Amino acid sequence: MQKDPEAEKWFAGKPAEPILRRVREVILRADARMSEGTKYGTVTFHSGGDFASFVQHDKRTVSLMFNRGGIIPGKFPHVEGAGRAVRFMRFADVAEVNACSAELSKIVVAWCDLMSAPTAKKKS
C-alpha cells in the first residue's frame, strides 16, 4: 500500500482524521490497482479513472463520495443514492468503518475490475 505524500499531509488535523485514515486504509488495501492523490482540495482514489473522494471533510463524520457510483456493478447495502450519478457511504466512527470494511473492499474490487475491462470508459 503506497501512500501519496500530498494525501498524507491532507489528513493532518482533520476533525475525523482517525476515521478518514481507516477508510483510506481499507480502500488502498482492497486492491493493488487502487491509488490515491489530491484533487480539488481533497483526497481522491483512482484506478482507471476517479473512483471516490472525501466530501464534507471538515466534520467529525466521514462522507465518501463514489464519483460515478451508479456504474459500479453489484448491490451494496450501505451505499446511498440512485440513478447513474454519485453514491455515498457515510461513517460515524472507526467501528462503523470496520463493520463495513468487507463491503467497501468489494466496491473497490468491483470498480477496479470494471475499469480494467477492455470496454471500460475511462474518465477522470
Q: Which residue type occupies 1?
A: M
Digits of tens for pLDDT over the chain (124 positions)?
A: 668 889 989 999 999 999 999 999 999 999 999 999 999 999 999 999 999 999 988 899 999 999 999 999 999 999 999 877 899 999 999 999 999 999 999 999 999 999 998 765 555 4
Q: Is 81 in contact with 88 (CB distance < 8 Å)?
A: yes
Domains and CATH numbers, the chain: 5-116 (3.90.1150)
Q: What is the pLDDT of residue 122?
A: 52
